[in-house]
Amino acid sequence: MEHEIFKRLPLEKLENDACSSYLNLCDYRITKQGIKYNITTLLSNPTLVHLEWGYNRIRDQGAIEIADALLIHSNLKYLQLNYCQIANQGIMAIATSLYINSTLTHLDLSNNRIEDEGSNAMMTALSSNSTLLYLNLKANGIRTPGAKVIANALSSNSTLCHLNLKFNKIGNKGAIAIANALLTNVNLIYLDISANGIGIKEGEKALETAMNNNSTLLDLKLYLRKDTNETMNITKKTQINKDRYEKTKKTSLFVFYLFKDDIHQDYILSRLFSTFFFLK
Protein backbone atom coordinates (compact mmCIF):
# COMPACT_ATOMS: atom_id res chain seq x y z
CA MET A 1 0.00 0.00 0.00
CA GLU A 2 0.99 3.60 -0.52
CA HIS A 3 1.52 4.38 3.16
CA GLU A 4 3.96 1.48 3.48
CA ILE A 5 6.43 3.50 1.44
CA PHE A 6 6.76 5.84 4.39
CA LYS A 7 8.09 3.05 6.59
CA ARG A 8 11.38 3.61 4.77
CA LEU A 9 11.33 7.35 5.38
CA PRO A 10 12.83 9.18 8.38
CA LEU A 11 9.45 10.41 9.61
CA GLU A 12 9.70 8.80 13.03
CA LYS A 13 13.02 10.50 13.61
CA LEU A 14 11.57 13.78 12.43
CA GLU A 15 8.63 13.41 14.79
CA ASN A 16 10.75 12.56 17.83
CA ASP A 17 13.89 14.61 17.26
CA ALA A 18 13.35 18.19 18.37
CA CYS A 19 16.43 19.29 16.44
CA SER A 20 15.28 18.05 13.03
CA SER A 21 15.19 20.90 10.56
CA TYR A 22 15.92 19.27 7.17
CA LEU A 23 14.12 16.50 5.31
CA ASN A 24 14.79 15.26 1.77
CA LEU A 25 12.02 13.10 0.29
CA CYS A 26 12.96 13.59 -3.36
CA ASP A 27 12.22 10.70 -5.73
CA TYR A 28 10.56 8.43 -3.16
CA ARG A 29 7.69 7.70 -5.56
CA ILE A 30 5.27 9.48 -3.27
CA THR A 31 1.89 10.15 -4.88
CA LYS A 32 -1.04 12.32 -3.81
CA GLN A 33 -2.33 9.51 -1.57
CA GLY A 34 1.01 9.25 0.20
CA ILE A 35 1.05 12.95 0.95
CA LYS A 36 -2.48 12.89 2.35
CA TYR A 37 -1.54 10.03 4.64
CA ASN A 38 1.51 11.74 6.14
CA ILE A 39 1.45 15.48 5.60
CA THR A 40 -0.04 16.29 9.01
CA THR A 41 2.54 14.16 10.80
CA LEU A 42 5.33 15.53 8.66
CA LEU A 43 4.64 19.20 9.24
CA SER A 44 3.59 18.91 12.87
CA ASN A 45 7.27 19.18 13.82
CA PRO A 46 7.79 22.90 14.64
CA THR A 47 11.52 22.69 13.91
CA LEU A 48 11.23 21.61 10.27
CA VAL A 49 12.38 24.51 8.08
CA HIS A 50 13.68 22.76 4.94
CA LEU A 51 11.59 20.27 2.93
CA GLU A 52 12.59 18.79 -0.43
CA TRP A 53 9.76 16.87 -2.11
CA GLY A 54 10.79 16.98 -5.75
CA TYR A 55 10.45 14.18 -8.31
CA ASN A 56 7.28 12.73 -6.76
CA ARG A 57 3.93 12.37 -8.56
CA ILE A 58 1.89 14.34 -6.05
CA ARG A 59 -0.06 16.26 -8.72
CA ASP A 60 -2.73 18.83 -7.89
CA GLN A 61 -4.29 16.99 -4.97
CA GLY A 62 -0.96 16.52 -3.26
CA ALA A 63 -0.10 20.18 -3.78
CA ILE A 64 -3.44 21.17 -2.24
CA GLU A 65 -2.64 19.07 0.84
CA ILE A 66 0.73 20.79 1.15
CA ALA A 67 -0.85 24.21 0.67
CA ASP A 68 -3.32 23.52 3.48
CA ALA A 69 -0.42 22.50 5.71
CA LEU A 70 1.43 25.73 4.91
CA LEU A 71 -1.45 27.67 6.42
CA ILE A 72 -0.72 26.21 9.85
CA HIS A 73 2.98 25.31 9.68
CA SER A 74 4.61 28.64 10.41
CA ASN A 75 8.30 27.66 10.44
CA LEU A 76 8.95 26.19 6.99
CA LYS A 77 11.34 28.41 5.02
CA TYR A 78 12.45 26.20 2.11
CA LEU A 79 10.04 24.16 -0.03
CA GLN A 80 11.10 22.26 -3.14
CA LEU A 81 8.34 20.81 -5.35
CA ASN A 82 10.05 20.45 -8.73
CA TYR A 83 8.99 17.69 -11.15
CA CYS A 84 5.82 16.93 -9.18
CA GLN A 85 3.29 17.07 -12.06
CA ILE A 86 1.50 20.01 -10.44
CA ALA A 87 -0.93 21.92 -12.67
CA ASN A 88 -3.20 24.96 -12.24
CA GLN A 89 -5.34 23.82 -9.30
CA GLY A 90 -2.36 22.81 -7.21
CA ILE A 91 -0.49 26.02 -7.95
CA MET A 92 -3.57 28.09 -7.11
CA ALA A 93 -3.78 26.39 -3.72
CA ILE A 94 -0.11 27.07 -2.99
CA ALA A 95 -0.56 30.67 -4.14
CA THR A 96 -3.50 31.11 -1.77
CA SER A 97 -1.37 29.88 1.13
CA LEU A 98 1.18 32.63 0.41
CA TYR A 99 -1.38 35.25 1.41
CA ILE A 100 -1.24 33.91 4.96
CA ASN A 101 2.12 32.16 5.29
CA SER A 102 4.76 34.64 6.46
CA THR A 103 7.88 32.49 6.80
CA LEU A 104 8.49 30.77 3.45
CA THR A 105 11.49 32.38 1.72
CA HIS A 106 12.40 29.79 -0.91
CA LEU A 107 9.91 28.11 -3.29
CA ASP A 108 10.94 25.84 -6.15
CA LEU A 109 8.08 24.94 -8.53
CA SER A 110 10.22 24.26 -11.57
CA ASN A 111 9.31 21.69 -14.22
CA ASN A 112 5.61 21.46 -13.44
CA ARG A 113 2.58 22.51 -15.54
CA ILE A 114 1.34 25.75 -14.02
CA GLU A 115 1.07 27.65 -17.36
CA ASP A 116 -0.52 31.12 -17.56
CA GLU A 117 -3.48 30.53 -15.24
CA GLY A 118 -1.31 29.17 -12.45
CA SER A 119 1.23 31.92 -13.02
CA ASN A 120 -1.55 34.49 -12.67
CA ALA A 121 -2.54 33.11 -9.27
CA MET A 122 1.04 32.89 -8.06
CA MET A 123 1.92 36.43 -9.12
CA THR A 124 -1.25 37.89 -7.64
CA ALA A 125 -0.27 36.33 -4.33
CA LEU A 126 3.29 37.56 -4.74
CA SER A 127 2.03 41.12 -4.96
CA SER A 128 0.85 40.78 -1.36
CA ASN A 129 3.57 38.49 -0.02
CA SER A 130 6.44 40.14 1.86
CA THR A 131 8.71 37.20 2.74
CA LEU A 132 9.44 35.17 -0.42
CA LEU A 133 12.97 35.87 -1.70
CA TYR A 134 13.55 33.02 -4.16
CA LEU A 135 11.06 31.73 -6.75
CA ASN A 136 11.81 29.15 -9.43
CA LEU A 137 9.20 28.80 -12.20
CA LYS A 138 11.51 27.21 -14.75
CA ALA A 139 9.91 25.07 -17.50
CA ASN A 140 6.25 25.61 -16.67
CA GLY A 141 4.73 26.51 -20.02
CA ILE A 142 4.32 30.20 -19.16
CA ARG A 143 3.49 32.27 -22.24
CA THR A 144 3.17 35.99 -22.97
CA PRO A 145 -0.04 36.54 -20.89
CA GLY A 146 1.62 34.92 -17.89
CA ALA A 147 4.75 37.01 -18.41
CA LYS A 148 2.68 40.19 -18.34
CA VAL A 149 1.20 39.16 -14.99
CA ILE A 150 4.72 38.47 -13.73
CA ALA A 151 5.69 41.95 -14.86
CA ASN A 152 2.83 43.48 -12.87
CA ALA A 153 3.93 41.56 -9.79
CA LEU A 154 7.52 42.74 -10.15
CA SER A 155 6.28 46.30 -10.24
CA SER A 156 4.68 45.98 -6.81
CA ASN A 157 6.59 43.25 -4.96
CA SER A 158 9.25 44.59 -2.59
CA THR A 159 11.07 41.45 -1.45
CA LEU A 160 11.74 38.97 -4.29
CA CYS A 161 15.47 38.83 -5.08
CA HIS A 162 15.83 35.78 -7.35
CA LEU A 163 13.48 34.76 -10.17
CA ASN A 164 14.04 31.88 -12.60
CA LEU A 165 11.81 31.84 -15.71
CA LYS A 166 14.07 29.71 -17.91
CA PHE A 167 12.59 27.34 -20.55
CA ASN A 168 9.16 28.94 -20.78
CA LYS A 169 7.48 30.55 -23.82
CA ILE A 170 7.50 34.21 -22.89
CA GLY A 171 8.52 35.64 -26.26
CA ASN A 172 9.30 39.25 -27.18
CA LYS A 173 6.11 40.86 -25.88
CA GLY A 174 6.43 39.10 -22.54
CA ALA A 175 10.09 40.07 -22.30
CA ILE A 176 9.29 43.71 -23.04
CA ALA A 177 6.63 43.73 -20.31
CA ILE A 178 9.13 42.35 -17.80
CA ALA A 179 11.75 44.83 -18.97
CA ASN A 180 9.36 47.70 -18.30
CA ALA A 181 8.72 46.34 -14.81
CA LEU A 182 12.46 46.25 -14.14
CA LEU A 183 12.62 50.00 -14.62
CA THR A 184 10.80 50.43 -11.30
CA ASN A 185 11.67 47.23 -9.43
CA VAL A 186 14.30 47.89 -6.74
CA ASN A 187 14.79 44.42 -5.23
CA LEU A 188 15.43 41.84 -7.94
CA ILE A 189 19.10 40.88 -8.17
CA TYR A 190 19.04 37.74 -10.32
CA LEU A 191 16.79 37.02 -13.32
CA ASP A 192 17.08 34.02 -15.62
CA ILE A 193 14.81 34.50 -18.63
CA SER A 194 16.84 32.37 -21.06
CA ALA A 195 15.40 29.95 -23.63
CA ASN A 196 12.15 31.87 -24.01
CA GLY A 197 12.20 32.70 -27.71
CA ILE A 198 13.33 36.27 -27.11
CA GLY A 199 14.63 38.09 -30.19
CA ILE A 200 17.81 40.14 -30.33
CA LYS A 201 16.17 43.30 -31.75
CA GLU A 202 13.13 43.57 -29.47
CA GLY A 203 13.06 41.61 -26.21
CA GLU A 204 16.80 41.41 -25.65
CA LYS A 205 17.29 45.11 -26.34
CA ALA A 206 14.50 46.07 -23.95
CA LEU A 207 15.92 43.84 -21.19
CA GLU A 208 19.45 45.15 -21.63
CA THR A 209 18.18 48.74 -21.47
CA ALA A 210 16.18 47.94 -18.36
CA MET A 211 19.19 46.39 -16.67
CA ASN A 212 21.35 49.40 -17.41
CA ASN A 213 18.75 51.62 -15.74
CA ASN A 214 17.94 49.29 -12.85
CA SER A 215 19.78 50.03 -9.60
CA THR A 216 19.74 46.53 -8.11
CA LEU A 217 19.61 43.89 -10.89
CA LEU A 218 23.11 42.42 -11.09
CA ASP A 219 22.76 39.24 -13.13
CA LEU A 220 20.52 38.76 -16.19
CA LYS A 221 20.54 35.58 -18.26
CA LEU A 222 18.94 35.16 -21.68
CA TYR A 223 19.47 33.53 -25.05
CA LEU A 224 19.78 36.06 -27.83
CA ARG A 225 18.40 33.76 -30.51
CA LYS A 226 16.13 30.75 -30.26
CA ASP A 227 17.50 29.14 -33.45
CA THR A 228 21.18 29.28 -32.46
CA ASN A 229 20.90 29.19 -28.65
CA GLU A 230 23.61 31.83 -28.51
CA THR A 231 23.94 32.73 -24.87
CA MET A 232 23.90 36.23 -23.48
CA ASN A 233 24.80 36.72 -19.85
CA ILE A 234 24.77 40.33 -18.68
CA THR A 235 26.33 41.07 -15.31
CA LYS A 236 27.29 44.16 -13.37
CA LYS A 237 29.68 42.53 -10.93
CA THR A 238 32.41 45.11 -11.46
CA GLN A 239 30.05 47.98 -10.67
CA ILE A 240 29.09 46.78 -7.21
CA ASN A 241 30.37 49.09 -4.51
CA LYS A 242 29.92 49.54 -0.80
CA ASP A 243 27.10 52.06 -1.24
CA ARG A 244 25.13 49.60 -3.41
CA TYR A 245 25.85 46.86 -0.89
CA GLU A 246 24.38 48.86 1.96
CA LYS A 247 21.27 49.78 -0.02
CA THR A 248 20.50 46.23 -1.18
CA LYS A 249 19.63 43.21 0.94
CA LYS A 250 22.89 41.91 2.35
CA THR A 251 21.79 38.30 2.17
CA SER A 252 21.12 38.51 -1.56
CA LEU A 253 24.37 40.25 -2.42
CA PHE A 254 26.28 37.77 -0.29
CA VAL A 255 24.79 34.99 -2.39
CA PHE A 256 25.63 36.85 -5.59
CA TYR A 257 29.29 37.25 -4.68
CA LEU A 258 29.64 33.47 -4.51
CA PHE A 259 28.47 32.94 -8.11
CA LYS A 260 31.61 31.69 -9.83
CA ASP A 261 30.36 28.60 -11.66
CA ASP A 262 27.59 29.44 -14.13
CA ILE A 263 26.63 25.77 -14.53
CA HIS A 264 25.85 25.35 -10.84
CA GLN A 265 24.85 28.93 -10.15
CA ASP A 266 21.16 28.29 -9.57
CA TYR A 267 21.91 25.28 -7.36
CA ILE A 268 24.40 27.25 -5.27
CA LEU A 269 21.92 30.06 -4.73
CA SER A 270 19.09 27.78 -3.63
CA ARG A 271 21.33 25.93 -1.17
CA LEU A 272 22.82 29.09 0.24
CA PHE A 273 19.46 30.76 0.67
CA SER A 274 18.16 27.78 2.64
CA THR A 275 21.32 27.47 4.75
CA PHE A 276 21.37 31.15 5.60
CA PHE A 277 17.76 31.20 6.71
CA PHE A 278 18.24 28.17 8.96
CA LEU A 279 20.59 30.35 10.97
CA LYS A 280 18.54 33.51 10.87
| pLDDT tens-digit map of 151-199 | 999 998 999 999 999 999 999 999 999 999 999 999 999 999 999 999 8
pLDDT digits (tens, 9 = 90+) for 22-77: 888 888 777 766 676 567 667 777 888 999 999 998 999 999 999 998 888 778 89
Q: Dihedral angle at the C-alpha atoms of 274, 22, 278, 32, nearest 10 degrees?
A: 60
- What is the predicted pLDDT for the residue at 262? 40
The full DSSP string for 157-201 is -SS--EEE-TTS--HHHHHHHHHHHHTT--S--EEE--SS---TT
- Select 142-280's CATH number: 3.40.50, 3.30.420, 3.80.10, 3.30.530: 3.80.10
- Lowest mean pLDDT across 75-84, 86-95, 179-188, 262-271: 262-271
Q: Is the pLDDT of residue 20 over 60?
A: yes
* For the chain, percent of residues with pLDDT exceeding 90: 50
- Lowest mean pLDDT across 58-72, 133-147, 223-237: 223-237
Q: Chain-wide mean pLDDT for the chain?
A: 78
Categorise residue 229: left if φ over 0, alpha if ψ from -120 to 50, beta otherwise: left
Q: What is the DSSP letter of 151?
A: H
pLDDT band at 275 (very low <50, low <70, confident <90, very high): very low
On the question of a common fold for 1-90+102-111 and 142-280, the answer reads: yes
Would you kindly state where each structural domain of the chain is located, as residue ranges? 1-90+102-111, 142-280
pLDDT band at 231 (very low <50, low <70, confident <90, very high): low
- What is the predicted pLDDT for the residue at 162? 96
Round to whole Å and give the CA distance between 222 and 195. 7
- What is the predicted pLDDT for the residue at 28? 78
The arithmetic mean of pLDDT across residues 206-216, rounded, is: 91
The arithmetic mean of pLDDT across residues 14-21, rounded, is: 59
- What is the predicted pLDDT for the residue at 239? 41
CATH topology of domain 1-90+102-111: 3.80.10
- What is the predicted pLDDT for the residue at 32? 66
Helix axes 59-70 and 88-97, enclosed angle (nearest 10):
0
pTM: 0.81
**237-240-246 Cα angle (round to 5):** 140
All residues at 6 or more sequence positions from 199 whose CB lies less than 8 Å from its CB, including other chains: 172, 225, 226
